[in-house]
Amino acid sequence: SRTVLDVRRIARAHRGARATVGRIVPTPGGTNVIASRVDLWLDVRHPDDAVTARMVHEIAEAASVAAAREGCGSSIVQESLSGSVTFDPVFRDRLLDDLPGVPVLATGAGHDAGVLAAHVPTAMLFVRNPSGVSHSPEEHVEDADAERGAEALADVLSDLLTCDDLPAPDAA
């Protein structure tokens, strides 16, 4: 529990950072049993990969200290690592031309558009989500917002079919 709180504290200490513990699995997992092991899945994001690495190091140190206080040990196993993704500025600006007044949002996209960005000009179009909750059953979009998002995407794609000033895809 201390480590989960330390994750929050450490993320708040770094402007622009996000860090979450998305899953906790105690073993053996009985309601009235002291766990012999607890696995946490941690997601840490920051636009600067060096800051992300520093945060992971700080979290690992905090977890080690918390475990030692309880007479336990801790270890971190890296399951995956994705560097920060910077979307194509020409493409972003083209989208802004088609969608005046929309905000430009930073995203920690590590999938879909994040993967594509290494090979083709890429950007993301977000649809308003009143709750702000994502990747959760509580995430929802109002029908009118979904319709407007689909219309905006159709307009942008139609415009892109006729433009010739976007960068060419990576030859790799």
| 71 has a pLDDT exceeding 90 | yes
Domain locations along the chain = 2-69, 89-162
What's the CATH fold of domain 89-162? DNA polymerase; domain 1 (1.10.150)
Q: Model-level pTM? A: 0.73
Rounded Cα–Cα distance for residues 77 and 75 (Å): 7
- CATH number, domain 2-69: 3.30.70.360
The SS3 of residue 166 is coil
Rounded Cα–Cα distance for residues 51 and 53 (Å): 5
Half-sphere CA count of 27, side-chain side, radius 13 A: 5
Among 4, 107, 110, residue whose Cα is nearest residue 59: 4
Write out pLDDT tens, residues 26-39.
999 999 999 999 99
